[in-house]
């Protein structure tokens, strides 16, 4: 479920009156997602998403996210803008939460991408990276390599309760990444969470890229590595799909491209991507009661991916 905060029809009506967006016809809570409360809002003139920002989004970051989405949309990327009210305001207060009325984009997210869909996702990522070259906004990555030691320490011995030996495996990986993490690759603002559930598609076309709430300034190729780890395996981390991998990288090459230095660092970046999601999932796993309404995501799905990248011969994935 992802409706933590209830919004009454009266509150919804008061909100819509601030906009040139028609009057309320219906509003339904959206079940998908775990971070924020989302409603599908139909008015007499249009359809919108109403997002209320919950615990994980720092409201101080919202102006950065709005500027980023406006910049990407202006450059022709299929990302949803936050609608401006009659006064030009994008960030509102609804039911005690910061909230935005957001453009609705059509399409559905795929759970088992085909190679053509992976290619389209790679191309969409490259187009965004092109548009972000020179973008002036910046936001530190709060889930980057500098944060993984502390996150692992916070999980502590409980990692072994998820899987025997996981704590030692994480410690070894941190040592490897500290020694092999690239320091001189180009950086830019990146999406940082381009999983299939954050890409809306119609057939093989990308119709929407959503959920920019982890967007940050990072090594640009890390975004490719995150996307690769998210798209090229079975959801439980087993079964690497070589066809999706080739297609994803070909799509990215079509629209942006990787330098030889980025290619050389790709496996280390992908191992870092796996560790990031392993650790954040492990933390959530340990701190979300098993009977909570939110579905916990399996940290071991990223341990399996990590093992795959660790064992992949250098240059075997993207050459
Ligand atoms: N602009 C949009 N247009 C159409 N549908 C959207 C849009 N934004 C969100 N959705 C729908 O709402 C669902 C939840 O949105 P989202 O993934 O952003 O949730 P979240 O809780 O913020 O994040 P997370 O995926 O990290 O849990 C999406 O799966 C999608 O179906
Ligand atoms: N996409 C992430 C959740 C957001 O960080 C995951 O699947 O673990």
204-257 per-position pLDDT tens digit = 999 999 999 999 999 999 999 999 999 999 999 999 999 999 999 999 999 999
Distance 225 CA to ligand 1 centre (A): 22
Distance 176 CA to ligand 1 centre (A): 35
Would residue 24 count as lying in a domain? Answer: yes
Residue stretches of the chain with pLDDT short of 70: 1, 290-293
Task: Give the global pTM.
Answer: 0.96
Distance 230 CA to ligand 2 centre (A): 9
Task: Point out the ligand 2 atom lying closest to the alpha carbon of residue 284.
Answer: 8
* Res 291: pLDDT: 65
Considering the domain architecture, whether residues 154 and 297 belong to the same structural domain is answered as: yes
Residues lining ligand 2, Cβ inside 6 A: 193, 195, 214, 277, 280-281, 297
What is the residue range of 125's domain? 115-311
- Strand-pair category, 24-29 with 47-52: unpaired
Would residue 266 count as lying in a domain? Answer: yes
* Res 290: pLDDT: 67
Considering the domain architecture, whether residues 151 and 264 belong to the same structural domain is answered as: yes
Considering the domain architecture, whether residues 68 and 210 belong to the same structural domain is answered as: no
Task: Point out the ligand 2 atom lying closest to the alpha carbon of residue 195.
Answer: 1
Considering the domain architecture, whether residues 298 and 174 belong to the same structural domain is answered as: yes
Considering the domain architecture, whether residues 121 and 79 belong to the same structural domain is answered as: no
Cα separation, 111 vs 272, whole angstroms = 23
* Res 34: pLDDT: 76
Q: Which of 103, 138, 167 is the last residue of a domain?
A: 103
Distance 21 CA to ligand 2 centre (A): 32
Considering the domain architecture, whether residues 84 and 207 belong to the same structural domain is answered as: no
Nearest residue (by CA) to ligand 2, atom 4, is: 193
Q: Which of 75, 103, 131 is the last residue of a domain?
A: 103
Task: Point out the ligand 2 atom lying closest to the alpha carbon of residue 214.
Answer: 5
Give every CB contact of residue 264 below 8 A, 6+ residues apart in sequence: 314, 315
Would residue 26 count as lying in a domain? Answer: yes
Q: What CATH number does the domain containing 41 carry?
A: 3.30.200.20
* Res 115: pLDDT: 98
SS (H, E, C) 8-55: CHHHHHHHHHCCCCCCEEEEEECCCCCCCEEEEEEECCCEEEEEECCC
Considering the domain architecture, whether residues 83 and 206 belong to the same structural domain is answered as: no
Considering the domain architecture, whether residues 91 and 128 belong to the same structural domain is answered as: no
Q: What CATH number does the domain containing 187 carry?
A: 3.90.1200.10
Considering the domain architecture, whether residues 224 and 198 belong to the same structural domain is answered as: yes
Residue 92 is inside which H or E element, if any? strand 92-94
Q: Considering every ligand atom, which ligand is closest to the CA of 299?
A: 2
Considering the domain architecture, whether residues 27 and 121 belong to the same structural domain is answered as: no
3-class SS at 207? strand
Residue of 55, 193, 214 with the most ligand 2 atoms within 8 Å of its CB, for mutation: 193
């Amino acid at each position: 479920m992802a409706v933590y905060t209830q919004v009454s029809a009266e509150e919804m009506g008061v909100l819509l009156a601030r906009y040139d967006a028609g009057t309320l016809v219906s509003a339904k809570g959206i079940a998908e997602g775990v971070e924020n409360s989302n409603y599908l809002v139909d008015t007499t003139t249009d359809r919108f998403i109403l997002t209320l920002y919950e615990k994980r989004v720092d409201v101080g970051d919202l102006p950065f996210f709005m500027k980023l989405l406006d910049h990407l949309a202006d450059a022709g990327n299929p990302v949803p803008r936050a609608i401006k009210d009659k006064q030009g305001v994008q960030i509102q207060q609804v039911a005690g939460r910061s909230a935005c009325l957001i453009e609705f984009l059509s399409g559905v997210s795929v759970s088992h991408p085909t190679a053509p869909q992976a290619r389209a996702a790679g191309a969409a990522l490259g187009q965004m990276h092109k548009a972000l070259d020179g973008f002036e906004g910046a936001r530190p990555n709060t889930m980057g390599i500098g944060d993984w030691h502390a996150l692992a320490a916070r999980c502590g011995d409980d990692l072994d309760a998820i899987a025997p030996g996981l704590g030692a495996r994480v410690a070894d990986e941190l040592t490897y990444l500290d020694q092999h993490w690239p320091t001189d690759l180009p950086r830019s603002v990146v999406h940082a969470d381009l999983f299939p559930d954050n890409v809306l598609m119609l057939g093989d076309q990308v119709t929407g890229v959503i959920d920019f709430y982890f967007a940050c300034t990072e090594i640009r190729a890390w975004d490719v590595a995150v996307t690769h780890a998210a798209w090229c395996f079975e959801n439980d981390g087993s079964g690497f799909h070589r066809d999706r991998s080739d297609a994803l990288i070909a799509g990215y090459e079509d629209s942006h491209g990787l330098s030889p230095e980025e290619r050389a660092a790709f496996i280390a970046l992908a191992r870092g991507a796996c560790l990031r999601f392993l650790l954040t999932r492990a933390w959530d796993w340990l701190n979300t009661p098993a009977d909570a309404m939110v579905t916990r995501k399996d940290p071991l799905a990223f341990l399996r991916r990590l093992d795959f990248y660790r064992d992949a011969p250098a240059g075997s994935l993207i050459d």
